[in-house]
A and B are shown apart, each in its own frame.
Chain A
Amino acid sequence: MSLRIVVCVKYVPDATGDRRFADDLTLDREDVDGLLSELDEYAVEQALQIADGADDAEITVVTVGPEDAKDALRKALSMGADKAVHVEDDDLHGSDVMGTSLVLAKAVERTGYDLVICGMASTDGVMGVLPALLAERLGVPQVTLLSEVSVAGGVVTGRRDGDTASEQLEASLPAVVSVTDQSGEARYPSFKGIMAAKKKPVESLDLEDLELDADEVGLAGAWTAVDSATERPARTAGTVVKDEGEGGKQLAEFLAGQKFI
C-alpha cells in the first residue's frame, strides 16, 4: 500500500529583506519578496528520504497562502515532491494560527494522508505551534521537533532534543511530524527537477471546496487582534573602538561602568 505523505509548506517574506506590516496590521506581502520558508525545506527533504525508503510513496505539498505562494510549491516540487495543493481565497487574508490550522487540517484530510510533515516553525510568525494544532485537530499523534526521523512498519520514530533531555519518540501512523534544521541538509533542486516541476499538478482549492465559511478564517475570524505595530527604533550607535593592544581592558572599563563587573 502506498504511503501518503503530506508536507505543509509556508510562503514567507524574505528575512534578509525589509519585512513590514500593512495598514491593517497584517503582514505586508505586496511590497516584499516571498519565498518558501527555509525551515520547510528540511520538511520536504525528510519527506523525500522517507519516500525513498518506502516501497511506494507519494508526496503532496500543501500551502495556504496568496497567489504568489505557488512559488513555494514549485520549489518543493522541484526538490522532488509529486504534486501540490494550493489553498487560496481572498477571505483567508489575516488568518491567525487557529484559522490557518483549521484550513490546513481540512486540506490535509481532503488530500488523504498517513504522515503529515511540517517545519519546526515558519520564519515569519515563528510560533512553532501549528504542527501541534494540526495533530489536535486531526486527532492523531504529534511527533514534533525531531532532529532525526524514520518510518517503518506503520510506525514513526524520532529524536527530540529538548532543554533538559533528549527523547526518543514513537507513534503509530497516521501522525503529524515536525522536523528541525538539525534533521539533515536540504537538497538543491536539480535542473531536471526544475524542469519536471513545471509539469507536476498543482490543485487550487478555495474555502468552498473545503466546506469552510469565510467568518471562520481571515482577519474577521481571527481569535487574536493586533492593536499596534511599531518599528523598533534603531539602536543608537554605540561606541566602537579598534583594538590597539588595550581593547580588552577598554571593554572591561565599559562593563564596569555599566555595573556588570
Chain B
Amino acid sequence: MAEVLVLVDHVDGAVRKPTLELLTLARRIGDPVAVALGAGAGGTAGVLGEHGAVKVLTSDAPEFADYLVVPKVDALQAAFDAVSPAAVLVVSSAEGKEIAARLALRIGSGIITDATDLEAGDEGPVATQAVFAASYTTRSRVSKGVPVITVKPNSAPVEPAAAAGTVEALTVSFGETASGTKVVSRTARESTGRPELTEAAIVVSGGRGVNGAENFPLIEALADSLGAAVGASRAAVDAGWYPHTSQVGQTGKSVSPQLYIASGISGAIQHRAGMQTSKTIVAINKDAEAPIFELVDYGVVGDLFAVVPQLTEEINTRKG
C-alpha cells in the first residue's frame, strides 16, 4: 500500500489530538508515515504507533525552534524525498498551512487547505471543504503532483490501530533560506487547564452581551460544568475582556465541536465563519431577532445573566 506522510503536531513530545485524527484519515488512503520535528520528537513514537503510524521519522535539530517555518519545510521535504508518499497531510493550524503550502510549491503539487473530510477517489484523495462561511460544501482534488492537504481539527474520530511505529532518524540539510527569520524570543501561553479551543468537544462562548471582563467567570463556570473550552466573539476580545487566543471566527479560531453555546453573541457573518460547522448549536440572547437564532438547534431568548447561572446550576445538580 502507498505511504502517506503525516506531519506531527506535538509539544515537547506530547502529540496533540488533531494529529491522531490525521492518522485516521491517512489510513483511508494508505500507510501513515509520521514526521516528528523538534524537541521531544522521539517521544511521540509510542502514541503514533498505537494510532497506525508504520514509521516515525524524527529530527530534533535546534533550527526548528530558532527559525520560523522554513526549517520544518526543509525537513518535510527530506521526508518526502525519502518516502515518495501518495499524499501529505498536515493539521490546519496557521503554521501547518504555511509549511504545507511551501512544501507543495517545492514538489510541484497543488494544495487544499482546511479540509473537513477526506476519502480515497479514483483520481486520488477527495477533500471536503466548507467555504464562504460554511454556506457551501465543496469536494476538491489536487490535480497535479502529490496531494498536499491540510485538515481542520475535529474532522475525523481518533481510532486506535496498532502499527510498528518504527523510529528512524531523518537527515535534514537546511537550505539557505532556513535561517531567514529568527525567533528572537518565545513566551509560552499560560495553560488555563481547560481543553484546547480547536480540539474541544464542547465550546462555550461569550460576546458583547457579557458586558465586561468581570462577568466572564459566568461563562467559565458554564464551560467548566460541561468540561468545555471557552471562546469569545471579536467584540469581547477587542474590548479586552478575554484574550485574543480565544476568539472564534474568521480571524480567530475556527471550531467544529459537538456542541457550541453562544451567549450574548449576535451571530455576525465573521463569527459564523468560525463556528457554523459545529454539530449542535445553542444560543442565549435577549434579542429574538439576533441572526444567531437562524443557526440554532436550541435557543433561549432571555437575559444571559439569568439563564447562564441557572443552566450551570442545573447541569451541576444533574451531574450530582
Q: Which residues of A contact B (CB under 8 A)?
A: 15-16, 19, 21, 25, 39, 96-98, 101, 120-121, 123-124, 126-129, 132-133, 135-137, 139-145, 147, 157, 160-172, 175, 180-182, 222-232, 234-235, 238-243, 245-252, 254-256, 258, 260-261
Contact = CB atoms under 8 A, between A and B. Distances in A.
A241 B284 CA distance: 10
B111 A97 contact: yes
A132 B130 CA distance: 23
A202 B225 CA distance: 58
**Minimum-distance CB pairs A-B, first 9:** A243-B302, A248-B310, A223-B110, A141-B180, A129-B101, A252-B314, A248-B311, A224-B110, A223-B144
Given A16-B269, A128-B94, A181-B251, A248 B308 contact: yes
A243 B303 contact: yes
Interface string B284-320: 1000100001111111111100111111111100110
Contacts of B280: 258, 260
A247 B307 contact: yes
Contacts of B106: 136
Interface string B116-135: 00000000001000111111
- Contact size range, B: 35 or more
B258 A161 contact: no
B68 A142 contact: yes
B212 interface: no
Contact of A98 (B104, B141, B186, B281): B104
B250 A252 contact: no
B189 A225 contact: no
14 contacts: A15-B270, A21-B136, A126-B250, A128-B97, A128-B98, A164-B11, A164-B189, A167-B68, A227-B126, A248-B314, A251-B300, A252-B315, A252-B318, A260-B226
Interface in B250-284: 250-251, 258-259, 269-270, 273, 280-282, 284
B135 A224 contact: no
Given A126-B114, A165-B186, A232-B135, A238 B298 contact: yes
**Chain A facing B: main interface SS:** mixed
B143 to A, nearest CB: 4
A169 B68 contact: yes
B244 A224 contact: no
B138 interface: yes
B172 to A, nearest CB: 17
**Chain B facing A: main interface SS:** mixed
A169 B186 CA distance: 9
In this complex, which of A97, A137, A242, A243 has the most chain B Cβ atoms within 10 angstroms of its Cβ? A243
Contacts of A162: 94-95
A227 B315 CA distance: 45
Contacts of A175: 180-181
Nearest to B259: A260
Contacts of A164: 11, 188-189
A247 to B, nearest CB: 4
B140 interface: yes
Contacts of B198: 163
Contacts of A142: 68-70, 98, 180-181
Contacts of B269: 15-16
B194 interface: no
Contacts of A96: 110
Given A141-B177, A251-B311, A226 B138 contact: yes
B139 to A, nearest CB: 5
B314 A227 contact: no
Nearest to A253: B314
B301 A243 contact: yes
Contacts of B145: 223
A87 B55 CA distance: 46
Given A127-B113, A248-B314, A252-B314, A260 B202 contact: yes
A241 B177 contact: no
B136 A235 contact: no
Nearest to A230: B137
B169 interface: no
